[in-house]
Structure 1
Amino acid sequence: MKRPANIIWLLVVLIFASIAAVSCGGDGTSEQEPTEPPAATPTAAPAAAATSVPTAAPAATPVPAAVGAVQKRLRVLAAVDRENNDPVLGLVHQTPQYHGTVFETLFDDDENFKMRNMLATDWSVTPDGKTWTFQLREGVPFHDGWGEFSAKDLFHTMQRYTREDSVNATLYNMHNMVDHVEIIDDYNVVMDLPDPFLDALAQFSGLQVSDIVSKDYFDAEGQEGVNRKMIGTGPYQFVERVLGSHVLHERVDYDHWRIKPDFEEIQIFIVLEPSTQLANLLAGEADLGRLPFDLQGPAIDGGLKIIESTIPSTTVYAIFGGNYSLGELAHEELQEDPSLFNPDFPWAIPGENGRKVREALNRAVNREELKNTVLGGRGQVMPVTFYLPFLNGWNPEWLETFEDDYGYDPVRAQELLAEVEADRGAPLDWTNARYWLSPRPELAEVQDVGEAVANYWQAIGVPIQIEERELAYAAEQFFARKISGIAWTDATPFRETDREQLRIIYASAGCCEFYSDDVVNQNYQTFLASVDLAERDQILRDTGNHLYEQYATVPLVALNVEFVINPDVIAEYKTSGFRPPRLLEYIKAVK
């Protein structure tokens, strides 16, 4: 990704100028990465001829008006580098972009992130949180005549998501549930679990991409059939996929139980390069996409419109790598190899000195300046990473104290580092300190944000080296807990459940372990054992208070997702922005 050097250079100048002023007294099964759309044979016969995406168009070309009362085909741009028709093999941040209108789940969130029934019509859970009962929707057909959805398809889906080659986000929890399923009849299922689990609604929703697949189709066609064609229950059915080019879906020709979409077809183009996306939109050959902030101006000048998600669903933050717990609840990787934790690295020093270092690095960052330059004035304060006002565990007092506790103060940052060195009787050892820059599909500017943060740290005397890394490599090292002394900036959706927020992000039991200690790990164990919603909410809040006080991460901003639309084609698109673009079937057409 090409980063605007002028913005970064401006930030470097501003950072050092600010410190100088203050110091002077101021304050498919194919997983190939597509290049050009190939002249490939479609995987199924198209209902209508597919249009290819052009590679260039004049930047000043206005968007042509839609012809007729309602445009037949909605054309959407998706920046995905992994293509497949099997949701089991799909990455959670990419699959919804081209599977979401074909497959359905037991539950799903609406445009305001409120859970609703989908293929389940009712549910109950026992007071101990261990036994769940689901009543399934009757009379819902799978596409192409592959029978009606029933309990056997739910169980088959759970089995497939726990395959060894599954990369779906549901894998961890499904493993703990699949052996405890009892099918009462075709439309009633009971799960009698060994431990309390209150997140079943989210687990079987689009938030976890728990797409229901057909057992009859798999039994008849096998994995080859699943690779060849998507068979779901959604309001659109699969027509074709041309690798490196597009996926085409068409509206089902019967009364769907849920909705009759305005558009007869949805064509999802695979386009990775932002400038090409802009060209497609300006040429009127795409109707919906997402663009980097610096390309939105030309889009607006060309007659396009910017719309926002209903909630701030993208969180932007920096991570201090290697802040692990070595207590009795430590992750097995740390138990086997304690050397993965370096207690002498400055931000991982145990106790008050480590906290002071992390405070210094937080105070070194001018969040307001960063927001107004790299992010174009976008974003709201996020005092604790992944904690937002509409989620459980929120503490409004954080907003009142955030400026005092986290506000930009490079002089105080330098004083804190000096205090730690004086207490330890030696200079801080920043050997091999690195700041990794990796791209993220959720925010085109994430590497620019990371470079700015690293520059702020360098400005207070922290000799951190900036390195660009592919996301796959960075994630691999991250999950293996081999990132001591490495920081990076990320932009991801907030976690879809309270449990996942603690497990995945902070507790040692999870994959990521941004920051863990005995307090975090004990809170997580208490949370798991509780079935009292008020108690769980308080545990989350207590954990958030602890993370806030420990400067566990560098929380930056929470952003609404922004979409670029053709206003002559799209009248309304309401979505939470969680794993975008989703809920495409609800887009209202201009009539």
Structure 2
Amino acid sequence: MGLQFYPTLVDKEAIEERMAHHWLTKPKMLIYGSLSLLLLLAVACGAAEESPADTGSTTETAAEQAAQEQMQQPAGPPPAAQRQPSTGMAGGEGGSTQGTEPMAEQSAPAPTAAPAMSDAPAVAAKNVTRLEFAITSANNETNRPWKGSRQAYVQYDPTLDYAIGIHPTTSEWVPELASKWEANDDLSEWTFWLREGIQFHNDWGELTADDFLHTAQILTRPDTRLGTWRYFVGGRNDDGSPLAGPDKYFTKIDDYTFTVTFHGKDGNPTTTFDAEFVMSNASSEMGPWSKKFWNSVGGSEEVYFCGETAPASCTATLEAREALLDEEGMQGTGSYQYMGREPALAFIMEKTPGTHWTHNVDLPDGVLPDDPDFQEIRLYWTPEDASRYAALLAGEAHLADLPLDLQKDAAENGMRLFRSQFTSNNFFVFFGGMYLSDDPKDVAAYDPSVPWAETPWAGQEPVQDRNSPQFQNNGWKVRRAMNKAINREELLDVLYKGIGELMYVGYYHPSHYGWDDTWPDRYETEYKYNPDEARQLLAEAGYDESNPVKVTVQSYVSPGEAELPQAMEAIATYWQNVGIEVDIEDLSASQVRERYRGREMQNRVWPNIIIYFPLEYGNLTGFTSTFGSSSHYQDNWVNRVASDWRNATDFDERDRIAREWGNWAFDNYMTMPLFWFPHTVVGDPAVVESWIYPGSTVPRNGHMHAVKAAYKG
């Protein structure tokens, strides 16, 4: 049997009641779905069975055919400008990035409209003032950006602009608040020239260099939960004070010109190839908001944080300013401005009055001024897939973040799929407990009883000879077994048929520098589905029915990642098929983050769906704590090479190091790589006509000013 999609229903209560019995809300029923059925048949028969796509009725309705066309509409390739980073850009150059080696095989795709709904009745456009967008969650419901994760910027992004923008159809870096920028020879210092005359919301004055410093000081508070702080201050002293303070990381040249100096973990200036990511809406955290607004209460003292021994006046000032932020939100320069919150439910924005500043400047070719069609946007949190889908069909939501199977059903019910311009999402699974370095925190956290972390070289320099018995230790065998137990081809066909592609190493795409052309061929023997070999590897490592590998899956939902729980249910089924005992624990994304940052992931694995990151950010910040704070994977070789990678200023050397790192990750089964795929949002065509967005920003739902209304009256 194939995946069962929901019947055509228009009554909201009926939909929710029907879905209450579906495997989405009863995940264990997935065992009887197409994913595990193929596994069970293979076990019973010892032979491959036909794909779910090859079974069942061959008769399709016009609506089903149109839905299938929408589902298989591919996105364009990831951004082309990844072979080398930019070393600067000036406005008016049509968005071409200086210093970027073009890739002939990756020409920029044109905007792609959704396929026509053949034989579908015409939809009468609705005149809607407030756009209702149902998402999974905001992760952190707060107006205090330092208190949330980067994913929380799904709330703030439409209200902010950035020094550097992302071209909507090529995904290249383009001038936004900054008309140009450039780097010094070693890429440790980046200078930005701001456009003049850009005003903050609600008459909070003109944007200047001071507002960028203010934003950086907010993000680098000692109590921040965001990741950008390390780029500026490098590291912290034992008392929490920064190794590099504002006087070191920020130089104001004049009101419209400033230089940012990026620092390594030792507090010294360091090469930063991913500076453009940090200063753009891809990262989102450095969207400037008004310093004048922040300083408007609590006196004239400049206060961003008060320690335990701070005077009462400091605490009073800070509390007054934080209360103001809670009440009125960040005052940015975006085409939408903060309107209010519905506690535990929604974030509401309204169109910024007057003409947005983008109408008054020269923009790169293909970048249009911000001119939103909707007067208001309401982002509201609905964790349950069934409820978001029901709200969309009932007309209560106009856009919804839905998993893949519901996307197809929604398309059959006349909804439209709005796909990102690029294959912008990558999906892989981390092994917890991989604290293998001699860092005292790793030594304290390392547990040799974790099956996939058992290795004779924990705390030492790892063996590099992959044919050595020390390299192919019990932990390596378990990691290989868990990889080879996953039928990626089947999962890809069911989840992302026609729009996804296999991933071979976490964070790496063929468009990245450091790519190794041998990985696709080596995948066939090193990673491809082979349950018999997986069982043999587990047996060689000392595990059987009486002593199974036990794993806890940390599952969660986050905006733009609606299908994540389904995928992890399927992967759990694959593991159970080879004798691994699996428990699934549903957590919030913030709970998962706190656990992996705290090195508390022993005997756990957790999934990661993330955007197309620069390689440096994804690997150096996303895996080790050498530069970042993630602690996903630690060993002495990785920590040493991470430092070499970050400090290398020659591109060819960085390319070599990145490839060496990628091969270590591939050979050592550092993660369980799965897929690349585009981001998709489902919309009501009576309300939303089109939405062209790159999908390569952390909030994913970027460029919301480009959501075009169906009603033209």
- Where on the TM-score scale, by shorter chain, does this alignment land: which range? 0.7 to 0.9
Query: Is the 2:421–2:693 Cα contact (8 Å) retained in structure 1?
Result: yes
2:38 aligned residue (7, 10, 14): 14
Find the counterpart in structure 1 of residue 258 from structure 2: 189
Find the counterpart in structure 1 of residue 442 from structure 2: 334
Pick closer, same or farther for the CA change 1:497–1:377 going to 2, 3 Å: closer
Per the TM alignment, residue 98 of structure 1 is displaced from its structure 2 partner at its CA by 2.4
| Aligned partner of residue 268 in structure 1, secondary structure | strand
Query: Is the 1:310–1:574 Cα contact (8 Å) retained in structure 2?
Result: yes
Whole-Å separation in 2 of the counterparts to 1:575 and 1:447: 25
Pick closer, same or farther for the CA change 1:555–1:75 going to 2, 3 Å: same
| Aligned partner of residue 352 in structure 1, secondary structure | coil
Structure 2 unmatched runs, 5+: 1-23, 49-120, 235-243, 263-268, 298-320, 359-368, 457-470
Moved more, 522-531 or 493-502: 493-502
Find the counterpart in structure 1 of residue 701 from structure 2: 581
Q: How does 1:72-83 map to 2 (within 5 A)?
A: 72-81=129-138, 82-83=140-141
Query: Is the 1:87–1:211 Cα contact (8 Å) retained in structure 2?
Result: no
Fraction of identical pairs, as percent: 28
Find the counterpart in structure 1 of residue 74 from structure 2: none
Pick closer, same or farther for the CA change 1:376–1:235 going to 2, 3 Å: same
Per the TM alignment, residue 368 of structure 1 is displaced from its structure 2 partner at its CA by 1.8
Q: How does 1:421-570 map to 2 (within 5 A)?
A: 421=542, 433-441=550-558, 442-462=560-580, 464-471=581-588, 472-488=590-606, 490-494=607-611, 496-509=613-626, 510-570=628-688
Whole-Å separation in 2 of the counterparts to 1:138 and 1:64: 44
Per the TM alignment, residue 101 of structure 1 is displaced from its structure 2 partner at its CA by 1.6
Per the TM alignment, residue 285 of structure 1 is displaced from its structure 2 partner at its CA by 3.5
Pick closer, same or farther for the CA change 1:416–1:240 going to 2, 3 Å: closer
1:165 aligned residue (223, 227, 231): 223
Find the counterpart in structure 1 of residue 429 from structure 2: 318
Per the TM alignment, residue 126 of structure 1 is displaced from its structure 2 partner at its CA by 1.2
Pick closer, same or farther for the CA change 1:572–1:520 going to 2, 3 Å: same
1:227 aligned residue (323, 326, 346): 326
Whole-Å separation in 2 of the counterparts to 1:294 and 1:526: 44
Whole-Å separation in 1 of the counterparts to 2:521 and 2:649: 31
Structure 1 unmatched runs, 5+: 25-61
1:305 aligned residue (392, 396, 416): 416
Whole-Å separation in 2 of the counterparts to 1:63 and 1:430: 61
| Aligned partner of residue 296 in structure 2, secondary structure | helix
1:154 aligned residue (199, 212, 223): 212
Query: Is the 2:134–2:401 Cα contact (8 Å) retained in structure 1?
Result: yes
Find the counterpart in structure 1 of residue 508 from structure 2: 387
| Aligned partner of residue 101 in structure 1, secondary structure | helix
2:356 aligned residue (247, 252, 256): 256
Per the TM alignment, residue 432 of structure 1 is displaced from its structure 2 partner at its CA by 7.3
Per the TM alignment, residue 524 of structure 1 is displaced from its structure 2 partner at its CA by 0.8
Give 2:327's aligned amino acid: R
Find the counterpart in structure 2 of residue 240 from structure 1: 340
> Is 1:287 paired with 2:398?
yes
Per the TM alignment, residue 133 of structure 1 is displaced from its structure 2 partner at its CA by 1.6
Q: How does 1:17-56 map to 2 (within 5 A)?
A: 17-22=41-46
Whole-Å separation in 1 of the counterparts to 2:390 and 2:524: 42
Give 2:340's aligned amino acid: E
Per the TM alignment, residue 427 of structure 1 is displaced from its structure 2 partner at its CA by 7.4
Any idea what the Cα deviations from partners look like across 1:101-136, whole Å, max 9, x if unmatched?
Answer: 211121132334321222111112111222222211
> Is 1:266 paired with 2:341?
no
Query: Is the 2:403–2:563 Cα contact (8 Å) retained in structure 1?
Result: yes
| Aligned partner of residue 583 in structure 2, secondary structure | strand
Find the counterpart in structure 2 of residue 65 from structure 1: 124
Whole-Å separation in 1 of the counterparts to 2:434 and 2:390: 44
Per the TM alignment, residue 275 of structure 1 is displaced from its structure 2 partner at its CA by 2.6
Pick closer, same or farther for the CA change 1:430–1:119 going to 2, 3 Å: farther
Query: Is the 2:481–2:535 Cα contact (8 Å) retained in structure 1?
Result: yes
Whole-Å separation in 2 of the counterparts to 1:532 and 1:428: 52
Query: Is the 2:274–2:617 Cα contact (8 Å) retained in structure 1?
Result: no
Whole-Å separation in 2 of the counterparts to 1:571 and 1:240: 27
| Aligned partner of residue 609 in structure 2, secondary structure | strand
2:294 aligned residue (218, 233, 250): 218
> Is 1:572 paired with 2:690?
yes
TM-score by length of 1: 0.84
Query: Is the 2:452–2:477 Cα contact (8 Å) retained in structure 1?
Result: no
Per the TM alignment, residue 516 of structure 1 is displaced from its structure 2 partner at its CA by 3.4
Q: How does 1:191-210 map to 2 (within 5 A)?
A: 191-193=260-262, 194-209=269-284, 210=286
| Aligned partner of residue 7 in structure 1, secondary structure | helix
Whole-Å separation in 2 of the counterparts to 1:241 and 1:119: 27
Moved more, 429-438 or 73-82: 429-438
Find the counterpart in structure 1 of residue 161 from structure 2: 104
Give 1:201's aligned amino acid: E
Per the TM alignment, residue 382 of structure 1 is displaced from its structure 2 partner at its CA by 0.3
Query: Is the 1:102–1:232 Cα contact (8 Å) retained in structure 2?
Result: yes
TM-score by length of 2: 0.70
Pick closer, same or farther for the CA change 1:88–1:110 going to 2, 3 Å: farther
Whole-Å separation in 2 of the counterparts to 1:90 and 1:412: 43
Per the TM alignment, residue 379 of structure 1 is displaced from its structure 2 partner at its CA by 2.6
Whole-Å separation in 1 of the counterparts to 2:37 and 2:544: 27
> Is 1:349 paired with 2:418?
no
Whole-Å separation in 2 of the counterparts to 1:282 and 1:499: 42
Any idea what the Cα deviations from partners look like across 1:403-431, whole Å, max 9, x if unmatched?
Answer: 2321111222223334445xxxx979967
Find the counterpart in structure 2 of residue 37 from structure 1: none
Give 2:529's aligned amino acid: Y
Per the TM alignment, residue 270 of structure 1 is displaced from its structure 2 partner at its CA by 1.0
Whole-Å separation in 1 of the counterparts to 2:548 and 2:222: 39
Pick closer, same or farther for the CA change 1:570–1:136 going to 2, 3 Å: same
Query: Is the 2:478–2:537 Cα contact (8 Å) retained in structure 1?
Result: yes
Whole-Å separation in 1 of the counterparts to 2:620 and 2:546: 31
